[in-house]
Structure 1
Amino acid sequence: MLVERAYAKINLTLDILGKRPDGFHDVDMVMQTVDLSDLIWLEETDGRDIVVDSTAPHIPLDHRNLAVVAAKVFQQQSGILRGLHMKIEKHIPVAAGLAGGSADAAAVLRGLNRLWRTGYSLDELAQMGASIGSDVPFCVYGGCAVATGRGENIARVQHELRAWVVLTRPPVFVSTADVYKATRPEQYARTVASPKMVHALQHCDFAGVRNAYTNALMATTFRLYPEVEALYARMTAVTGQPVYMSGSGPTLFTLFPTRSVAQRTYNALRGFMKEVYLCRFAGL
């Protein structure tokens, strides 16, 4: 048996370039992992069945779970058709714009590579992940990267900035598909923010990171889910800091250069929100 961590991600930029013939959108995003993580326990069993347990009561434990899909893809690619017992210890909020399902799938790929000593490189695992979901390749690598295409093309970014992050998840379910579908052509980017963001990260320019942030989906999510916009306004008033959204939401977050200020903000938000998380930038 072994355990693999599955790290959540936040979007530091998210620009939409247009709609693709396959129905997806071309995007340009800077993504960053944070040290909020699930734990994936993997154990080989007799037979060929994949059995899943989870501490989260409301996630599917069958083919609808990306971790199960990842295990089957790995079996098919490696030719190793052994049985597997997986336990998913959830800490990343579900359906929150933090790529929790994709992170779990990526952790399964990395973990089975270790468990069965198959020797795949991260690049090869990321290629497997591209067939599972758009965010899975990034989650295989972790750290920071610019993601393009539908999100599966990854250019890794090395930087030394160590920011603290306070995440807040409103009690709202947001449909990513609905948000993308409702996004209007005038929200498509003429220029992308990723070069400016990468420059700020690599120069450890915290103010530059704050200034470079963009999310083309925010206006659509606020329009479809006004309760998310209401929380955004309240967080801005309470923290006195810029507030951002990850992916299609509903998770909102703030960035801080020091833990002490982040901790005070965390404490303030806990006064009126149930799901608040204090974490920081992380690599794998």
Structure 2
Amino acid sequence: MALIERAPAKINLSLDVLRKRADGLHDVEMIMTTIDLSDRVEMFSLQEDKIEISLESRFVPSDERNLAYKAAVAFKRRYGIKKGVHILIEKSIPVSAGLGGGSADAAAVLRGLNRLWNLNIPLDELAALGATIGADISFCVYGSTAIARGYGEKIEKLASPPPCWVVLAKPNIGVSTWKIFNRVNVDELYHPKTPLVIKALEEKDFPMLCANIGNSLESITCSMYPEVKQIKQAMQNIGASGVLMSGSGPTVYGLIEQESKARRIYNGMRGFCEEVYLVRITG
């Protein structure tokens, strides 16, 4: 029997780096929401005790380095499963883009194996297991809109954003999250107004949301990759209401209320980079 899980991408409405911890990780405060750009993860149970990953992407490994593979290993180990699984991943989310594609795939595997083997494990427990694998996996287990604290493992659900369109523009580069965080000096960072983002969500106030989205890592990534700053400026010039880099980049997104305006901005951004997407917020 085949089982299919959608693995939606996320964007950061805010990303604040609060402090560096003794273990070398950083405490963060991030508001994330899902969008209707997703990978497709299909799982087949195997009698032989092994994990197989198949996907068509020269940028994503299909061995133990893959987060979906690590999620299957962790799941089987935690619950004493002796069966195997074949995982087929159809990628639509850009790789190393700041959109949480690998984390979304891993979360889909945790949810999918729970269903495939009829274990009825609560989402809270799956999210806690996901936190042992990668920082954004806990959020991706739940999806929707939430604030993540700690190193990303403490999740609190928030009100969904006001309905809007999202234009995503990704330059032809990949960004290493580790390299960006390695350059973080917390005292020199911009810190977004997270409480105002939360208020905008609660009041479904689109102008307030656009005025207060922010990302502590944006200046670091832009200094290393000038094309990210150029894409942001282009999207602002074309008329997107709220423009921000997602995650550690390099993808820049713009929030737009009207579909006709969103399509115009989407067409305009296609002159600046190859990977441009027009999607809706689903969180």
TM-score per shorter chain, which class? over 0.9
Distance in structure 2 (CA, Å) of the matches to 1:160 and 1:272: 28
Distance in structure 1 (CA, Å) of the matches to 2:123 and 2:188: 34
Consecutive unaligned residues of structure 2, counting only runs of 5 or more, are none
Distance in structure 2 (CA, Å) of the matches to 1:67 and 1:132: 10
Displacement of 1:261 in angstroms is 1.6
Indicate if the aligned counterparts of 1:16 and 1:187 stay in contact, CA closer than 8 A: no
Pairing 1:206–2:186 present: no
- Aligned counterparts, 1:119-134, within 5 A: 119-134=120-135
Distance in structure 1 (CA, Å) of the matches to 2:27 and 2:81: 35
User: Normalized against structure 2, the TM-score is what?
Assistant: 0.95
SS at match of 2:43: strand
User: Normalized against structure 1, the TM-score is what?
Assistant: 0.95
- Aligned counterparts, 1:34-183, within 5 A: 34-159=35-160, 161-183=162-184
Distance in structure 2 (CA, Å) of the matches to 1:56 and 1:165: 25
Q: Deviations over 1:216-267 (max 9, x none)?
A: 1111111111222222222322336442100110000000113222112111
Displacement of 1:272 in angstroms is 3.4
Identity %: 46
Distance in structure 2 (CA, Å) of the matches to 1:251 and 1:182: 19
Q: Which amino acid aligns with 2:232?
A: Y
Q: Which amino acid aligns with 1:274?
A: E
SS at match of 2:35: strand
Distance in structure 1 (CA, Å) of the matches to 2:265 and 2:235: 9
Computed over aligned residues only, the root mean square deviation of the Cα atoms, in angstroms, reads 1.5
Pairing 1:3–2:30 present: no
Indicate if the aligned counterparts of 2:192 and 2:212 stay in contact, CA closer than 8 A: no
Structure 1 partner of 2:28: 27
Structure 2 partner of 1:194: 194
SS at match of 2:14: strand
Consecutive unaligned residues of structure 1, counting only runs of 5 or more, are none
Q: Deviations over 1:59-106 (max 9, x none)?
A: 100110000000111101111121111100000000000010000000
* Large movers: runs of 4+ above 4 Å: none
Structure 2 partner of 1:233: 233
Q: Which amino acid aligns with 2:206?
A: F
Indicate if the aligned counterparts of 1:161 and 1:202 stay in contact, CA closer than 8 A: no
Distance in structure 1 (CA, Å) of the matches to 2:272 and 2:14: 28
SS at match of 2:271: coil
Size of the aligned set, in residue pairs, is 282
